Structure 1
Amino acid sequence: MKIDWDDHEELKAEGIAMSRRFAFGQEMSCLKVVADQAGDLNLPPHWHENEQWVVVTEGSIRFVCDETEYELNSGDVAYIPSRQRHTATFVGPEGAVLMEFSAPPRLDLAPGSIMPSSMKFD
């Protein structure tokens, strides 16, 4: 099945210049994230039960996982194990587009969801 991202509601992130579109199945979810502006993200480190894969398809993003910082560029992939502290800290000068795959699915991100956020903060 092909996903047409334009058919999915755009979810604005509070306080961050990013847009997100969300799709999910029975076993995993996919979040398409578009950051049009370069700069600091100011996202606090967090963790969740879901394991996560991040695929950068355009631009670059700085990312911290388990206190190690990585520069992820177009074509790079990052893996975040379940319960691993992580955050994204900076979007590169050309912006970034990335796909976040989570298993089990992040149903708390589904439009209209009444589930509490799966994100945990220390």
Structure 2
Amino acid sequence: MAKLIHTDNELSAKDKSIKKVFGNEQSNIVNIQLKAGEGIPEHDSKNPIFIIVRSGTVKFVCPDEEYHLKDSDILYMEAEELHSVEAVTDTDFLVVFLK
């Protein structure tokens, strides 16, 4: 069954917003919004993930490579791949956690 998911712009009220917007047996989707200069310390995911940039520019730093993602870019990461995140500009992206 189809489901419309609406996400609000949270950056007018705060510098960082991390919200789960969907979840079922196959996946979870988290909307992350960061003001320029904000970030997320190094971490990993127990599941593979897709990062889908909706607006802005964001840097994903992995041990062996750095990725500068912009509007409409998609990055795939394997499970347990260490990375940190830094917003180059105000940014809005989705993280799709596969189960």
> Which of the five TM-score ranges fits, normalised by the shorter chain?
0.7 to 0.9
Matched ranges for 1:49-60 at <5 A: 49-60=46-57
Unaligned 5+ segments in structure 1 are 11-15, 105-122
Q: Which runs of 4+ in 1 moved over 2 A?
A: none
Distance 1:63 1:101, change over 3 A: same
Matched ranges for 1:46-85 at <5 A: 46-85=43-82
RMSD (Å), alpha carbons = 2.0
Structure 1 distance, partners of 2:93, 2:37, is 16
Shift of 1:40: 4.4
Aligned to 2:32: 33
**TM (normalized to structure 1)?**
0.67
Aligned to 1:4: 6
Aligned to 2:91: 96
Decide which structure has greater helix share: 1
**TM (normalized to structure 2)?**
0.80
